Amino acid sequence: MKNSKLKAFIPFFYLVWSDDLLTNTEFLTLQKFILSQSWLSNEERENLLSKLAVSSPPSREVVDHWKFEIETVIQENPSVKSLFNLSILLSEMDKIIKDQSAAFVQLEIDLGISGEEAMGNFKTLANTFTSKDQTNNRFEIEKLTQILDGKQAAIIKKVKSVISRPEFAYETSTDTAVYREKVYSWCKTLADENLGNMAYPKQYGGGENIADYFAIMETLSYHDLSLVIKFGVQFGLWGMSVQSLGTEKHYSKYLKDIGSLQLPGCFAMTETNHGSNVKGMETTATYNHKNQTFTIHTPHEKAQKEYIGNAAVHGQMATVFAKLIIGETDYGVNAFIVPLRDANSTVLEGITIGDCGLKMGLNGVDNGTIRFDNVVIPKENMLDRFASINEKGEFESPIPSDNRRFFTMLGTLVGGRIGIPRSALAAAKSGLTIAIKYSDQRKQFGPEGGSEVPILNYRIHQRRLLPLLAKTYATHFALQYVTKRFIAKNESEMQEIESLAAGMKAYSTWNTTAVLQECREACGGKAYLSENRIDALKNDTEIYTTFEGDNTVLMQLVAKNRLSEFRKSFGQMDAMGIINYVYENAKTVISEKNPIVTRKTEDAHLMDGEFHLEAFQYREKTTLASAAKRLKKLIDSGLDPYDAFNIVQHQMIDVAQAYLERIVLEQFQEGIRLIEDQKSKEIMVKMCQLYALSQIEKNKGWYLEDGYMEAVKTKAIRKMVNQLCWEIRPDAVSLVNAFAIPDSCLAAPIAFLKH
Amino acid sequence: MKNSKLKAFIPFFYLVWSDDLLTNTEFLTLQKFILSQSWLSNEERENLLSKLAVSSPPSREVVDHWKFEIETVIQENPSVKSLFNLSILLSEMDKIIKDQSAAFVQLEIDLGISGEEAMGNFKTLANTFTSKDQTNNRFEIEKLTQILDGKQAAIIKKVKSVISRPEFAYETSTDTAVYREKVYSWCKTLADENLGNMAYPKQYGGGENIADYFAIMETLSYHDLSLVIKFGVQFGLWGMSVQSLGTEKHYSKYLKDIGSLQLPGCFAMTETNHGSNVKGMETTATYNHKNQTFTIHTPHEKAQKEYIGNAAVHGQMATVFAKLIIGETDYGVNAFIVPLRDANSTVLEGITIGDCGLKMGLNGVDNGTIRFDNVVIPKENMLDRFASINEKGEFESPIPSDNRRFFTMLGTLVGGRIGIPRSALAAAKSGLTIAIKYSDQRKQFGPEGGSEVPILNYRIHQRRLLPLLAKTYATHFALQYVTKRFIAKNESEMQEIESLAAGMKAYSTWNTTAVLQECREACGGKAYLSENRIDALKNDTEIYTTFEGDNTVLMQLVAKNRLSEFRKSFGQMDAMGIINYVYENAKTVISEKNPIVTRKTEDAHLMDGEFHLEAFQYREKTTLASAAKRLKKLIDSGLDPYDAFNIVQHQMIDVAQAYLERIVLEQFQEGIRLIEDQKSKEIMVKMCQLYALSQIEKNKGWYLEDGYMEAVKTKAIRKMVNQLCWEIRPDAVSLVNAFAIPDSCLAAPIAFLKH
């Protein structure tokens, strides 16, 4: 194009031939524009139209030359901001072109390529702020690790050193038999290191340290999760059932051998037909006074014990739960020690073992089914702490109600509801460490003409991972609290603590499922390769939401427990009375539920921990009162309570969730209050803000429905969540490094990329 | 208790000793009450207090007798409704007791056991409506199946008959080599049945029927998903790349052998360092004019081809994407056929194959890495439909822009974005069939004294599965629509259809991930056993959200595409102009955004398909306009467009989601409009209502923020979702049976329980 006036069209030609989004319609628009410009001579018009012939496109060299001309002009005039200004410059400030301002601007609009955005196509080596964001160290990682480990630092260090030994290299065989034996031998090593018997009394060789026991469970979970579950079955379920349900004679006979893994055993509660409703189990233990024995029997196939860990291969004995029958009377579920195999691993007569076979995960654990065909065991094998049979052959128990006795027994076994959520927490930490370290190094896409940027610089990627990281930190502090409460529990708190542990088991395991799902997707194809371990983490923990009680069932229990506390307060009040009650109990909050507060959006307010906690507390109280009110109304209207509870199940989940979220936030805030190191405190405060605000954002439908917040506020909160993610991003790698997971456990190659 | 007056206390004694929830506090409350009743003699008081001694609990027989007395009274007086009335009856209408009404009622309140709920403890064999709910046939399953299968019924029937043959029994070996060979041999059988070449032109032995090809992909997905992916790699990716990117000389040379699986091949695009941003790939194809050859080369390790299906074991050739270099010039990405192995499966010189090893799923597919060390191929191996090298050795293309050419090439390969979401849909159907059939038979818990009830009778269980079932039905109709659009596409629609397919790929695969997650949890431990197939379905489809483009990246593209449409309309308008534009375009809706409509909660309105569609459309338009406005503001303020797009990524996801949800609803409604069978239509209308309302419920935060709905309406919608779930529950089993998945494919034992 020698005619400099015509050069005004270069940007448009370049765009229609190079832009991936423009379609035939744009060609037509440009052709029409050229045809309609009366200041063009016929020849000029022909010339211009020839550049737009779809049947004979410009050569690549021509397009490149256009680009070169444009870039040259931009380099000389870096401040050029619109396509039309570019056209003027290219035309060497041609007067005719200048006069066509309105027409050209309209063309830009018609083509949908107006504004500065279109100019982005021509800028080279862009120095965007998205590109510049990077990892930074703004706090001392080791100090934060110390805070997380707390008093258990020593045992955590010991466990890490054991599982980092060469013999703990991950098993890669897909042969289940090989994997099971490897896991068993790892358990042996842990037993030899006196880690298995940590919770047992000293007089039976134990460490008498429950806090350390839970820290062991959690730390082991950085390694293979089959190992953790096998460990938990042997030393937790099997050993603790003997300790919690048995008496002195059982302790002295079994505990030492259990702790050393001389006596591998099982915890045989669940039956095929009775999982969640385990109270309905059908295995029987019939007492024979003459022989002083019990006969253990599986009445039909669906009453077999199922999913029992250690059963398929290694278990020599089992704590078997069965209905105790004396004469014609059924005394409800009690526990008995039943031998399964002899010392040579031969299955004993009357016992039939099935293998659960391949599972979605945890294939290093030998889950099996157990059936009993009139297996006779001596009377002393009854675990008789809560019920026994006296010399006369009569049933005796301090708890006459069968139900109540059974739930009391279960209550002593609640340790699993601490161990599992803590194991889940560790798995979430592993997943986040892998995903965040990868995202910090993995580069993809970038500004026009610039280099590719780490995917963690993308806002959506931050949104996917950082609120989950905050929630995982929050869960860490909450589980520390639950553990402490559990260890220091006394009789009067039992019910509250059992409910809290059940709820936190659901909370933590659901978090882990969500975290690992997001980590898998966020790491793309790499996370699908088993070598990167998201596979194992995800599939092994998948059953955690079912283990130790189905999460949804547990949430119903937690909510019922919350209600039974609440009901005592309002009793027979009418609807108005209940509403008053709620307001009485939420006075601090109510004072805020006025137009000024519901619309308050200053940063200082939104970031205020008190605002967060009040919002959480308000939700907790309101969902509880509302479920109570609804239930009462349904029952008063003549509905069977069973039906009424069914109708409100959905609300009950909200009640439990709001309760747990309040606990988690409260404990995260309390944990932070105790931090002395200033920099650690600052980053934890940010994480706590992110946790609180992202939960409020998740629940914004509820807050808006209730009127506790108005739209202007929930929108401001969304923006703040984005902002916090952006601010935390440079600390993200340090935050996962603070989990201090051994490299040999992490193992995933993508966690160790260096560019 | 001989003293009939004292029998008034029996209900309370029974409750404190039998209720699982009462604690020590209740004992104290009851003791205090007894102490404070002045009408009791000292002896009577002592007698009563003795029943409350925690140190010497009543024997089990005593508690049973209390229960017997209570039950007897209730049987004689079935209308008794409160604990105090029960006390009066037990006391044989004692006058003193009657006078204590206020005190007793207060006691009930203090104990938190007032109201009819407490009476539930004494009712036996309760006949609750929750228990009575059951599966029912209210429409003809076969007719619904016909509607779903439509014109593809014949090919679907054929595929089902092939995959139900004995040789298609699932492979259970955990040995990857065995599994890969089995999948390969299955593919052979499918090729022999002329199913592989279904989409190829007839002159090359094909069936020339793309609609049938997609129906084959979907139906095969009821069987092993490794098979589907292997099938898709061979006949879809490999074969279709030759057909779409090559010319006649390639067709005649290769297509027949590809269709018969004589020539197994690969589609080698993704590189380790370039997955989502595949445009940045680094493999080179350097043209040598003298020899008329290309040299294919991998410049460094991270530029190797990765995750390539068919590469590790079976592939003999590959379509390799590489940057074409002529002289000093890089002509962007083009495609070349490169031989990998000879007929004896020996890897050729210069080629290095790696094995991706164990994966989370799809282990029957041999994914591998490929590296090229200056591999020379003849000139004719360039797939030259969109670019070629002329006699003089010059580059020629009708599309001069490298980017645009590459995206045009990719556009012809979009079939995978139809095949994958349809395969995902089938997997969701399988999961739901297993979970719903199991939940209909699996019984757990029940009313006091009644039998256990199927878990699908629980509201929360319905809530977990039925909205997902509705969404899966909705997705079915939407994917039928996308397939039709894809097959009938013309040039001017390409961009819209590509974007639609990309979006529906994300929509359907995310739905499948959510469905299978819920199915796993809803089926508890049983779903963890591999025999029940949720394992394989979940792990095999897990990568679908990454396959054919990462879902999050695709959603950004979809939104950008929506925006580029939209931008043309508003161009340089100011903020007010944009808002006006939105209102202009949403006139029908705006007329409804008034206090009467935003609060409208009558059933007829909430169930109205027009209301649903308008709500979806309103959300679509508003999110789009709002993202556009925000972007414009950011760019106008001087931000680099790249940074501006990064900031709004979160909103972009909303834009794409709202667009897709509108399409899905619209197509579900349109599909229903065409149904002739009245009963099928009725149940589909219910499912569509459930889909629409549960999506609105999910987005209620948005609707409330926007003011399109008020709290009273979103609350009514929540109730309606519950109600719809309850109403649909009896049809749930029929609705999954209508998918007509062969029993041999379903295979899961839990799907075939009978009580």
Angstroms from A383 CA to nearest CA on chain B: 19
Three-class SS of residue B124? coil
Q: Tell me, what's the pLDDT at A125?
A: 44
Nearest chain B alpha carbon to A725: B647
Interface test with A, best of B459, B715, B725 (most A CBs within 10 A): B459
State residue A298 phi and psi, 5-degree precision: -100, 110
Contacts of B527 in chain A (CB under 8 A): 360
Distance CA A318, CA A372 (A): 12
Whether A145-413 shares its CATH topology with A417-752 is answered no
- Do residues B177 and B361 touch, judged by C-beta distance below 8 A? no
Each residue of A68-112: pLDDT tens digit?
Answer: 888 888 878 877 777 888 888 888 888 888 888 888 888 887 877
Distance CA B434, CA B533 (A): 9
Q: Where are the domains of chain A?
A: 4-124, 145-413, 417-752
**Residue from the list A357, A460, A646 with its beta carbon closest to the beta carbon of B459:** A646
Q: Tell me, what's the pLDDT at A578?
A: 53
Q: Which residue's structure tokens are 């007569």?
A: A349
* Whole-complex ipTM: 0.88
Q: Tell me, what's the pLDDT at A121?
A: 61
Average pLDDT over residues A49-63: 81
- Do residues A719 and A712 touch, judged by C-beta distance below 8 A? no
Contacts of B361 in chain A (CB under 8 A): 528
Three-class SS of residue B356? coil
Contacts of A18 in chain B (CB under 8 A): 400-401, 403-404
B403/A18 CB distance under 8 A? yes
Encode burial over A243-282: b for 16+ CB neighbours within 10 A, e otherwise: bbbbeeebbebbbbbbbebebbbbbbbbbbbbbbebbbbb
Query: Which uninterrupted H or E stretch holds B330?
Result: strand B329-339
User: Quick one: angle between helices B494-522 and B534-541, nearest 10?
Assistant: 150
A63/B400 CB distance under 8 A? yes
User: Quick one: angle between helices B678-698 and B649-673, nearest 10?
Assistant: 170
Distance CA B415, CA B217 (A): 11
**Residue from the list B400, B445, B567 with its beta carbon closest to the beta carbon of A277:** B445
Torsion of CA B743, B746, B750, B754, to 10 degrees: -20
* Of B117 and A148, the one with more pLDDT: A148
Contacts of B447 in chain A (CB under 8 A): 640, 642-643
**Residue type for B431, please?**
G
**Residue type for B315, please?**
G
Task: Give the pLDDT band (50/70/90) at residue B125.
Answer: very low
Distance CA B123, CA A384 (A): 32
B640/A120 CB distance under 8 A? yes
Task: Give the pLDDT band (50/70/90) at residue B572.
Answer: very low
Distance CA A751, CA A429 (A): 13
Whether the predicted pLDDT of A572 surpasses 50: no
CA distances from B386 to A24, A270, A562, B31, B409 (A): 17, 64, 68, 92, 7
Q: Tell me, what's the pLDDT at A197?
A: 97
Three-class SS of residue B337? strand
Average pLDDT over residues A347-375: 98
- Do residues A91 and A7 touch, judged by C-beta distance below 8 A? yes
CA distances from A600 to A385, A617, A694, A713, B741 (A): 58, 18, 17, 6, 55
- Do residues B518 and B524 touch, judged by C-beta distance below 8 A? no
Task: Give the pLDDT band (50/70/90) at residue B127.
Answer: low
Q: Tell me, what's the pLDDT at A724?
A: 97
Tokens describing residue B721 = 């979702």
**Residue from the list A277, A443, A530 with its beta carbon closest to the beta carbon of B357:** A530
Average pLDDT over residues B127-146: 84
Task: Give the pLDDT band (50/70/90) at residue B658.
Answer: very high
> Domain spanning A145-413: which superfamily?
Butyryl-CoA Dehydrogenase, subunit A, domain 2 (2.40.110.10)
Of A349, A353, A413, A396, residue with least CA distance to A375 = A349
Q: Tell me, what's the pLDDT at B581?
A: 58
Q: Tell me, what's the pLDDT at A65?
A: 84
- Do residues A693 and A601 touch, judged by C-beta distance below 8 A? no
> Domain spanning B417-752: which superfamily?
Butyryl-CoA Dehydrogenase, subunit A, domain 3 (1.20.140.10)
Q: Tell me, what's the pLDDT at B1?
A: 63
Of A52, A56, A60, A69, residue with least CA distance to A2 = A69
**Which DSSP state fits B327?**
T
User: HEC states along A75-98?
Assistant: HHCCCCCCHHHHHHHHCCCCHHHH
> In this structure, which long-range contacts are made by residues B150-156, counting pairs with CB atoms below 8 Å and at least 24 apart in sequence?
B150/B480, B151/B211, B152/B211, B152/B212, B152/B215, B155/B198, B155/B209, B155/B212, B155/B215, B155/B216, B155/B219, B156/B215, B156/B219
Q: Tell me, what's the pLDDT at B92?
A: 87
The size of the A-B interface in CB pairs under 8 A is 356
Contacts of A404 in chain B (CB under 8 A): 17-20
- Tell me how crowded residue A676 is: count the other CB atoms within 10 A of its CB: 8
Whether the predicted pLDDT of B118 surpasses 70: no
Three-class SS of residue B34? helix
Average pLDDT over residues B718-723: 96
CA distances from B146 to A243, B198, B531, B675 (A): 61, 22, 30, 10
Looking only at the bridges linking them, the beta strands covering B305-308 and B368-372 are antiparallel
- Do residues A626 and A657 touch, judged by C-beta distance below 8 A? no
Tokens describing residue A142 = 């080791």
Contacts of B19 in chain A (CB under 8 A): 401, 404
Angstroms from A724 CA to nearest CA on chain B: 13
Tokens describing residue A531 = 């070598």
**Residue from the list A331, A646, A715 with its beta carbon closest to the beta carbon of B705:** A715
- Do residues A404 and B20 touch, judged by C-beta distance below 8 A? yes
Beta-carbon contacts of A597 under 8 Å, excluding residues fewer than 6 positions away, are: none
A403/B20 CB distance under 8 A? yes
Q: Which residue's structure tokens are 């207090």?
A: B49
Of B463, B480, B423, residue with least CA distance to B672 = B480
**Residue from the list A280, A529, A704 with its beta carbon closest to the beta carbon of B356:** A529
Distance CA A494, CA A599 (A): 41
Q: Tell me, what's the pLDDT at B575?
A: 45
Beta-carbon contacts of B119 under 8 Å, excluding residues fewer than 6 positions away, are: B80, B81, B82, B83, B86
Angstroms from B605 CA to nearest CA on chain A: 20
Task: Give the pLDDT band (50/70/90) at residue B11.
Answer: confident
Q: Tell me, what's the pLDDT at A392?
A: 95
Distance CA B443, CA B390 (A): 73
Question: Following DSSP, what letter does each residue of A393-446 receive, concatenated?
Answer: S-EE-S---HHHHHHHHHHHTTTHHHHHHHHHHHHHHHHHHHHHHHHHH-B---
Q: Tell me, what's the pLDDT at A629?
A: 84
Q: Which residue's structure tokens are 């579900």?
A: B668
